Structure 1
Amino acid sequence: MSQQKFRVYLYLSIVVGTSILFFGCSSTKQHDVKSAEETFNEAMELFKDEDYLEAEKLFELIRLQYSASQFADDAQFYLAESNFKRREFIYAAYNYNMLRKIYPHSEYTKKSLFQSGMCYYKLSPAYDRDQDYTVKAIQSFSEFQTIYPDDSLYVQATGIIRELRDKLAHREYFTAELYRKMFSPESAIIYYDSVINDYPDTEYYEPAIYGKIEVLIELKKNDEAKSLIDLYKKLFPGSSNLDKVKNLDQVLK
């Protein structure tokens, strides 16, 4: 074979080989997209039929195997939704947050932020337990309100935040009362102050001030007690404890 013929043969081999590779890749890509679409549709049927466990498996498959497909963010969102429906709130929160991280421009980012807050809200325990999830829920809903101040869910977020702040205040007030029972008035004041300074918008604000007045009198810190009594009478003129506070005021005179 002459050198010229060899060059022509080599060139044609390269062209043919490249064409085969190109069309092979194109065929594979089309197959992948079709497979992703079929898998997603099957997963959505399972989701609509409330078979959330099986739906989870397929959404997870799409998320891992077809992460570059147009269904990736849909699968990520509905994986979180399936977790939520199955009350797997830790997993759900993780997957909602992952959607916001991986697909920040997805149509599901707003709903995912709100739903992550709902996960933490569902995980929030009784007031006498660790309140880490309560704090996370408040942070999520506060972030939602900052980013989407005109959204229809803003009012619902406000109500949940108020409820959770009451829970945090309850915990601080409960701890203050516990220290009083343990004859540790100085420690009680620390927790009354926590309610007074951090949760003035809650139902525990008034009883915290009243409790602190009593403790200050026990500690014979009469000037501080008198100042707090004057504040109490201004803030709560209609309180059921007002007569008791007035009696304490008379004791100090």
Structure 2
Amino acid sequence: MNKFIYILFGVLVLSSCSEYQKALKSDDVEYKTTVFLKQVEKKKYSKATRLFEQYAASYRGKAQSENAFFNYAHALYMNKQYISAAYQFESFASSYPKSPKAEEAAFLGAECYSKTSPMYSLDQVDTEKGLNKIQAFINKYPNSTLLPKANEVVKQLTEKLELKAYEIAKQYNTIGEFTRDYNAAVKALDNFMFNYPGSKYKEDALFYKYDSMYKLAVNSVPAKKEERLNTTKVYYQNLVKFKADTKYLEKANKMLEKVDKELKQYTN
């Protein structure tokens, strides 16, 4: 019985392969399309795209081509060929604006750009492009049923840009150990908090701003030291006002003790 099943399976596989090979060699567009759609249904996306690309140029614009072109774009998407898929989805939405699938194509095309977004530590040009594309979709289809997905993509991309911006600002504090330019760190962290006022990294940014001013103050020339020490105390207050039980409290308090000790020479 098992042997019979294996033989039957083998025959079916050979038949399927034979049909696909026949379609590759055929000049019959309708036959190619039928086999192409079968490959999509079987999730054989590489085979499907290879076959469709043989005749796509001559097939575009025909009344019966709408479904095939959407499936082609979707096959590219499922095969993680996001740049090509984005182009095809956008082309579909433009070529078939009245199609029931035009809105979905517009969303998937925009989402494809978000799929090319790299990890936050790398250049974020593609992330910004993806964000612009998905925002354009939201503006065009404000009542779309795909809006929750679109908003989730916006959230993910925005958070990535936010983390990138925070890490860049924090880096100024890190390299201050070598450059002694803590003013640049304070300014960078200020800019970050201005651009992302509700950021989940605000506590961290407030601490590193305090830390930067502290290091600037304690290493200052006498003429500027008192003013900078007092500014450091202000930054400490900003931190604990934002979060009284901040995770940096112990370290921040030890720094404040030194600031107060340094200031005593001016009060005396």
State whether structure 2 residue 240 is matched by structure 1 residue 233.
Answer: yes
Q: Name the aligned partner's letter for residue 128 of structure 1.
A: S
Single out whichever of 62-71 and 219-228 deviates more from structure 2.
219-228
Where do residues 170-249 of structure 1 align in structure 2 (5 Å cutoff)?
170-183=163-176, 184-220=181-217, 221-222=228-229, 224-242=231-249, 244-245=251-252
Single out whichever of 64-73 and 225-234 deviates more from structure 2.
225-234
Rounded to whole Å, the distance in 1 between the matches of 2:64 and 2:51 is 12
What RMSD over aligned residues (CA atoms) do the two structures have, in Å? 2.9
Single out whichever of 71-80 and 240-249 deviates more from structure 2.
240-249
Rounded to whole Å, the distance in 2 between the matches of 1:144 and 1:235 is 37
Preserved contact between residue 89 and residue 122 of structure 1 (Cα < 8 Å): yes
State whether structure 2 residue 124 is matched by structure 1 residue 117.
Answer: no
Report deviation, 1:235: 3.1
Report deviation, 1:40: 3.2
Preserved contact between residue 37 and residue 71 of structure 1 (Cα < 8 Å): no
Q: Name the aligned partner's letter for residue 190 of structure 2.
A: D
SS in 2 for 1:105: coil
Preserved contact between residue 52 and residue 85 of structure 1 (Cα < 8 Å): yes
Where do residues 20-35 of structure 1 align in structure 2 (5 Å cutoff)?
none
Report deviation, 1:170: 2.0
State whether structure 2 residue 38 is matched by structure 1 residue 45.
Answer: yes
Which ranges of structure 2 fall in alignment gaps of 5 or more residues?
Answer: 1-27, 218-227, 264-268
Preserved contact between residue 63 and residue 75 of structure 1 (Cα < 8 Å): no
Rounded to whole Å, the distance in 2 between the matches of 1:167 and 1:52 is 30
Q: Name the aligned partner's letter for residue 203 of structure 1.
A: K
Cα distance per residue 1:109-149 (max 9 Å; x no partner) = 32223223332232221211111121122223323333334
Rounded to whole Å, the distance in 2 between the matches of 1:72 and 1:189 is 59
Where do residues 80-119 of structure 1 align in structure 2 (5 Å cutoff)?
80-119=73-112
State whether structure 2 residue 152 is matched by structure 1 residue 159.
Answer: yes
Preserved contact between residue 236 and residue 252 of structure 2 (Cα < 8 Å): yes
Preserved contact between residue 59 and residue 78 of structure 1 (Cα < 8 Å): no
Percent identical among aligned pairs is: 24
Rounded to whole Å, the distance in 1 between the matches of 2:244 and 2:97 is 50
TM-score, structure 2 normalization: 0.68
Preserved contact between residue 206 and residue 238 of structure 2 (Cα < 8 Å): no
Rounded to whole Å, the distance in 2 between the matches of 1:61 and 1:36 is 10
Q: Name the aligned partner's letter for residue 104 of structure 2.
A: K
Aligned to 1:144: 137
Pair 1:238–1:139, CA change in 2 (3 A):
farther
Cα distance per residue 1:164-221 (max 9 Å; x no partner) = 2222222222223333332243443344234312233432222112211221232334
Single out whichever of 171-180 and 75-84 deviates more from structure 2.
171-180
TM-score, structure 1 normalization: 0.71
Rounded to whole Å, the distance in 1 between the matches of 2:174 and 2:51 is 56
| Greater Rg by CA | 1
Report deviation, 1:73: 3.5
Which ranges of structure 1 fall in alignment gaps of 5 or more residues?
Answer: 1-34
Q: Name the aligned partner's letter for residue 182 of structure 2.
A: P
